[in-house]
Each structure stands twice: as structure tokens, then as C-alpha cells.
Amino acid sequence: MTSPHSFDRYLQTRRTELDAALEAALPTPPDCPPLIAEAMRYSLFAGGKRLRPILTLAAAEAVVKDGHADGRSRDAGRALAMPAACAVELIHTYSLVHDDLPAMDDDDLRRGRATAHVVYGEGVAILAGDALLTHAFVVLARRQSHTLAGFDQRRLHAIARIAEAAGAAGMVGGQALDLTATGALPEGEDPNRRGGSDEAALREMHERKTGALIGAAATTGAILAGGDETAVTAVDRYATHLGLAFQIVDDILDVEGNAADLGKSAGKDADARKRTYPSVHGLDRSRMLAADAAAAAREALASAGLGGRLAEIADWVVARTS
């Protein structure tokens, strides 16, 4: 087992690499107006955890075959997955910009500073979010000059997986369920249609709004690094459980955390009377469910003999305080 300090170094190294890759990937004037370039960067480089793109890179490392003691193979796997990692973070950031808008969650604090619409106005914030989302697919679609035979097919698979996770079947659908459940929409799809239970409605909303992109992030890393079907399936199952653990912890922190630690407003779920894991299950049961989900994530990896950092990421997700 690696030490906590070793894992912290791993996270910091990956974040540094990701920030450099994101900086290189973003459009700059005169290719786009300076205001849009500035607004995109404002939210993208606001100091997030980079969980989703780190998952992409860690999954790419995990599916690399043994036998390359000098580490070049894992480095190559990360390099193949880096465009997808950047795309995932661009999409995640777009979703935060739009979620914070007055018409959505109406938040004025994100990652410890004023949200994009507070700084730039709603119109520019919407456009910056749109630009982040669409540029993600520019990054994904760019053909790398040194790819292996058959890689373009993997790349198409990754594009489809990420697009589905970002769209109506994933994040957009989850946000619609969220708005419906809080009464922000006068009518729409019944969030209780799965047997009418609060638990089923809550889980579906989170599977779409949060879990879908986490799942796509990890799975595309495995796909692009050349993982076989067994490995990709195991990573997909791992990410499903991880996404649940992440959201349960998020719900707990909204109750127990504070804005200084979280970098965003605390207690808003209760104020909006949202369904959350603590409101449905209570705090103690929610903690148990998060731990169970993390354990299931680790078991999915073990079932396919996958190593690397993914198990440590599951522990990190459950133990986090922000």
C-alpha cells in the first residue's frame, strides 16, 4: 500500500499536468473574443479538485498491461487519455457555470470565489458555459499525430460516451429532474416514477446529474488506453459506485460543512427542500451508504485484477471534507 504522502504527490502531479494541458487546449484571441476567453478561464482555473480528469488518467494507467517496469507504458496510456481528461473537465466546469445561474441553483459562490454570472453577468456566463462545453468536443476530435492503429475507433467510442453523459440521458436530464423535484418547474417528468419512492427518485437524479460524467470520465480513460473488455467493464462498474459515494458525501457536506471549507454555499439543499441522502436516510445511514459504495467500487477493481490509483481515489472521495 502506498503512503498518504505518496498519494498526495500523485494528485498534485496529475493536477499540474492537467492545468498545463487545459491551458494549451483553450482558445485564445484572436480566435475568440477576449471577454469569452477570460470568462472561460475564470471558472476553469478556479482551483477545483480535478477529480473527473484525474479519474480519466488513473483509469488509463490501471488498464495498462504489466511488464513495463520503466513506467513508459503508463505514461503512454496517460498521454492517450489526456485529451479526454481535458474534455471532461471542460464539460464539468460548464455544468457548474450553468448550475450556478439564477434560473438553476442560484449560487453566488463557487470554489471560494464569486460565480461567473456574478462577475460577468448572466449573458456572458451562459456563453462561457456554452463555449466550454463545445470546446470539449473540439479537443476530443483533434487527431493526434502519433496514435496507434485502431485508435480512431477508440476515440469515437470515447466521444460518444462523453456526449451521452453530458446530454439528456445524463447531466442535462439530471438537472431537469432536480428542477422538477424542487418545484422550480411548473410541470414535467415525475421524479417519483420509479415506484414512487424518494430513494429511487434521489438515486436516479444523482446517477444522471453527477454519476454519468464520473462514469464517462473513468471509462473513457480505460477505453483510450486500450483496456480489454473485462477491464473497461470493471472500470465502468467501479465508476458507478464511486459516483454514488461522491454524491452521498457531497450531500453530507452540505449539512455538516461550511462555506470556507467547501468553497461554495453550504445548507442550500435544505433551504431549497431538496431530496438528499441525509434528508431521506439520515446522516449516520448516509455515511454507511457512502462507505458501502466505496467498498463496492474497490471490489469491482479487484474482480478484474486492476491496480493503480483507482482504489485510493475511492478512499479519497469518501474521506474528503470539501
How large is the average pLDDT for residues 202-207?
A: 91
pLDDT tens for each residue of 146-166:
667 788 999 999 999 999 999
pLDDT tens for each residue of 282-304:
999 999 999 999 999 999 999 99
C-beta pairs of 98-103 under 8 Å, 24+ apart in sequence: 98/125, 98/126, 98/129, 99/175, 100/125, 101/125, 101/126
Whole-number pLDDT of residue 143? 82
pLDDT band for position 68 (50/70/90)? Answer: very low
How large is the average pLDDT for residues 268-277?
A: 70
How large is the average pLDDT for residues 206-223?
A: 96
**Would you say residue 216 has pLDDT above 90?**
yes
The Cα 280–Cα 299 span in angstroms is 26
CATH of the domain at 20: 1.10.600.10
- State the alpha helices, DSSP H only, in the chain: 4-25, 34-44, 51-62, 72-99, 116-120, 122-141, 151-166, 171-181, 198-206, 212-224, 229-256, 259-262, 268-271, 277-281, 283-303, 310-319
Average pLDDT score over the chain: 89
Nearest to 320 by CA among 130, 51, 35: 51
pLDDT tens for each residue of 114-151:
999 999 999 999 999 999 999 999 999 988 776 677 88
Based on the structure, what is the number of domains in the chain? 1
Q: Which domain holds residue 128?
A: 4-319
Global pTM value: 0.90
Question: How far, in Å, are 60, 79, 157, 226, 236 from residue 73 at the CA level?
Answer: 10, 10, 22, 11, 22
The Cα 297–Cα 313 span in angstroms is 10
pLDDT band for position 70 (50/70/90)? Answer: very low
- Find where cell 477493481 sits: 301
pLDDT band for position 261 (50/70/90)? Answer: low
